[in-house]
Amino acid sequence: MKYILGWALIPLLVGCKSTIPSESISQQVISDLNAHQQAIITLDKQTSKECKTDAFVVSLNALKSQTESIAGQVKSITQACQTEKRVLEQKITIREIMIFVLLGILGIFIYLFIRKR
């Protein structure tokens, strides 16, 4: 009995939660983009007024807006992945229910077949 209980508890120990790869990748990209934004802000602050030409300021603002746009795209990709994941989880759940129902029906047929003998 001790052995059965021990073996039954092993799946509980193995089933530890881990970070989903797509979420960790998107968080890393967002973190890198935030560092990029901070580098742009630092460059803007460190540049003297004499060196801040109109072309420089326009380029700096373009970089800021590009970085914000990319961050938004990464966030929307993450949300799309989560939505697709939910749909797949629902399909898997439906499939598992169907399998259990079919196994139940098969079990009933086997029981009735053995009982008739």
pLDDT in tens, 32-49: 888 988 998 898 889 888
Phi, psi dihedrals of residue 19, rounded to the nearest 5°: -75, 135
| Domain presence at residue 17 | no
Whole-model pTM: value is 0.59
Domain range holding 47?
22-116
| Domain presence at residue 87 | yes
Domain count, the chain: 1
Q: What is the Cα–Cα distance from 7 to 33, expressed in whole angstroms?
A: 46
Q: What is the Cα–Cα distance from 38 to 49, expressed in whole angstroms?
A: 19
| Domain presence at residue 9 | no
| Domain presence at residue 88 | yes
User: What per-residue confidence (pLDDT) applies to 109?
Assistant: 93
| Domain presence at residue 112 | yes
Q: Which amino acid is at 78?
A: T
Q: What's the mean pLDDT in 68-79?
A: 88
Burial 60-79 (b: 16+ CB within 10 A, else e): beebeeebeeebeebeeebe
